[in-house]
Amino acid sequence: MSEPLHRIADAVADVTESDAVAVLTALGLQKDRRQPAKKAPRTPLPPPAVPSDVSSDVEWV
C-alpha cells in the first residue's frame, strides 16, 4: 500500500461507526447548503431556414 493510503487507514482506524455516520451526515448537510451551479449561457440555435431544392441520396451500409 502506498504511503497516502497508509495515512488514511491510520486516520480512520479508531473511528467508530457512529462517528463516521455523524461526519458523513454533517457533510451531507453542508452539501445541501451549497448554492446550485449556475447554468452556462448557451448560444441559441439559428431560426429554421426555408427548405431548399437541394436533395441528396444516402445509402446506409
Query: What pTM was computed for the model?
Result: 0.33
| pLDDT at site 34 | 60
Over the stretch 29-47, which tens digit does the pLDDT of each residue have?
655 556 667 788 888 888 8
Is the pLDDT at 51 greater than 80, yes or no? no
Give CA–CA dist 3/38, Å, rounded. Answer: 38
Residue 42 φ/ψ, nearest 5 degrees: -115, 150
Region 19-24: mean pLDDT is 82
Give CA–CA dist 11/52, Å, rounded. Answer: 69
Give CA–CA dist 20/30, Å, rounded. Answer: 15
Is the pLDDT at 16 greater than 80, yes or no? yes
CB 47 within 8 A of CB 39: no
